[in-house]
Structure 1
Amino acid sequence: MTQSSAVRDITESEIETYRQDGVVCLRGLFSSDWVAVLRDAAERSMQAPGELHAELAEDRKESGRFFHDTFIWTRDDTCRDFVFNSPAGAAAARIMQSTKVNIFFDQWLIKEPGTTTRTPWHHDMTYWPIDGDQISTLWLALDPVTKNTGAVEYVKGSHNWRQKFRPASFSGSNQYKEALPDVPDIDAMRDELEFVRFDLEPGDCTLHHGLTVHGSPGNQSASHRRRAHVSRWAGDDVIFHPRDGLQEMPPLPDLAGGDPIDSDLWPRIVG
């Protein structure tokens, strides 16, 4: 399936919301056709995961299934088509006000019914060997998403703290070695911070900045799934920035620190 146009245009108000809050909800951006083919691709991945997949509930010895897999586009034709031909890249470029975007990677974040595993408070950038301001994550709902099924909660404006935090492990490991402060106790700061959470329908998505702090509960529903296709995007100012103890990735390109990231692993999609 190839369909490059979005269901609707992105508004100036949505661009401004992202700039101020570090996250914006883009409702109805993807067609039901994209949702349908991505659901099929998710099932294929869950039945035959890639080398970089993880079973995060199992790793933490918790109930349910929290399935995680990355760089899906490199081995699944549907996800490759999505990366190169869906509205995702153009939406990220417009929201970030970037003249070009590279796909950094895509992934599944799937919480099956009865999954108790929460996604810890974190921000994205320090898990990865890149740096810059124009880094964003597009979180596309493939099922209706509510607080009960594990909707993501964001700390509004936290990207403007300009503070990088040590990555919080999703699996309970201690692999991240960069000398950074831990994410503060966000739940203990609820009286002094502002939060936003979105109920989503299939085809809705959020786009959040690489420094926006966010997390989510488990899926408390006994019957409703929470499947999301997540794509990570890098704009004009993004450079290669090696770090210690990174999220597991394929072999990295032969780049020097400070280089633009254009490469076979991180191809330019827009611009």
Structure 2
Amino acid sequence: MHSNVNSSQLHSLEDPYHLSEEQIAAYQSNGHIMLRSVASAEEINSYEPAIEQYVRQHNHHTKPVGERDTYGKAFIQVGNIWQQNEAAKRFVLAKRFAKIAADLMGVNGVRLYHDQALFKEPGGGHTPWHQDQVYWPLDTKHTITLWMPLVSISEEVGSMTFVDGSHNSGYMTRQFISDESHKTLGSYIAGKGLPTTNYGAMSAGDATFHAGWTLHSAPGNPTDQMREVMTIIYYADGTRAMEPDSSARENDLAGWLPGVKPGELAVSPLNPLLYSR
């Protein structure tokens, strides 16, 4: 583990965060929810420096923001940090977050699919409309992503924008994140007059949770502050891997579910059980 953080200073993130029946119902109906203070300011402050430093060291972008393609402009993306960094490991494997994921989905247990830091640089572009689960070879609708800013983000950067109830439509498009997906899905949303939600400004430690099939996008970053966000993807324990129907799903099967064959339980050393009733 490479880390210059004294792990005794890291807060535990074990104690539960209590959800109301209304919150669970809202998530299940909309496919997304925003929860305040899922981690406290003190807790975030104990983790942010190590995660931020790791992401900065592993940023593979060599060109300035303005010279990259849409996907490259959208964020600095670093995955599977939990295996490389002690602070990230404690954060990603946190029982508190995993229990919220299980409670919102109404399942008995959740496993880790993978983590991902998504840092949007000053001047960073928008994240086009997309569904996450087109990338995942997971044979379940019970998938969920925690999206938590490690620094406060202003109204103009805001949360992601979600299409309410879109998780019930399942597979809507084969398109991956691109200008094309943004245009096609954008006109579909507008044409159908689908309701969307953006939660606006968020404090460090607030979090949104959204289902794998929930259609979403994110605005660019017009500020001079880095938008530091950590994401953790969970799926219901007992989920099986599916036969990949795209190169993206083939890559994901090999990368995030090593050794697992289609039809088998989605369990590998990279997918620990993080919470179980």
TM bracket, shorter-chain basis: 0.7 to 0.9
**Which of 9, 12, 19 is 2:21 aligned to?**
12
SS in 2 for 1:131: coil
- Are residue 161 (structure 1) and residue 169 (structure 2) matched? yes
**Which of 232, 253, 271 is 1:266 aligned to?**
271
Deviations 1:101-134 (CA, angstroms, capped at 9, x unpaired):
001000111112222x211100111112212011
Deviations 1:141-198 (CA, angstroms, capped at 9, x unpaired):
212234522531000000111234214235x7x9xxxxxx998432563361100001
Deviations 1:221-261 (CA, angstroms, capped at 9, x unpaired):
1x233111000000145221242221755374222212221
The CA distance in 1 between the partners of 2:62 and 2:209, in whole Å, is 25
The CA distance in 2 between the partners of 1:159 and 1:55, in whole Å, is 36
- Are residue 127 (structure 1) and residue 122 (structure 2) matched? no
Greater mean alpha carbon deviation, residues 84-93 or residues 143-152: 143-152
Go from structure 1 to structure 2 and tell me whether the alpha carbon gap of 1:63 and 1:71 turns closer, same or farther (over 3 Å shift).
closer
Aligned position for 2:227: 226
Q: Unpaired runs of 5+ in structure 2?
A: 1-9
Amino acid at match of 2:233: R
Return the offset for 1:19.
0.6
The CA distance in 2 between the partners of 1:218 and 1:260, in whole Å, is 38
SS in 1 for 2:146: strand
8 Å contact 1:150–1:218 — kept in the other structure? Answer: no
Aligned position for 1:203: 205
- Are residue 36 (structure 1) and residue 45 (structure 2) matched? yes
Amino acid at match of 1:229: M
Go from structure 1 to structure 2 and tell me whether the alpha carbon gap of 1:148 and 1:236 turns closer, same or farther (over 3 Å shift).
same
Aligned position for 1:3: 13
Q: What is the count of residue pairs matched by the alignment?
A: 258
Go from structure 1 to structure 2 and tell me whether the alpha carbon gap of 1:140 and 1:160 turns closer, same or farther (over 3 Å shift).
same
Return the offset for 1:5.
1.1
Aligned position for 2:194: 193
RMSD over aligned Cα atoms: 2.8
8 Å contact 1:141–1:202 — kept in the other structure? Answer: yes
The CA distance in 2 between the partners of 1:83 and 1:185, in whole Å, is 31
The CA distance in 1 between the partners of 2:184 and 2:103, in whole Å, is 31
SS in 1 for 2:82: helix
The CA distance in 2 between the partners of 1:94 and 1:55, in whole Å, is 41
Alignment of 1:47-196 (within 5 A): 47-49=56-58, 57=65, 59-60=68-69, 66-115=75-124, 117-169=125-177, 184-187=184-187, 189-190=189-190, 192-196=193-197
SS in 1 for 2:22: helix
The CA distance in 1 between the partners of 2:215 and 2:186, in whole Å, is 9
The CA distance in 2 between the partners of 1:259 and 1:242, in whole Å, is 10
The CA distance in 1 between the partners of 2:42 and 2:194, in whole Å, is 38
8 Å contact 1:134–1:237 — kept in the other structure? Answer: no
Amino acid at match of 2:248: L
Aligned position for 2:219: 217
SS in 2 for 1:79: helix
The CA distance in 2 between the partners of 1:16 and 1:55, in whole Å, is 44
8 Å contact 2:243–2:263 — kept in the other structure? Answer: no
Question: TM-score normalized by structure 2?
Answer: 0.83
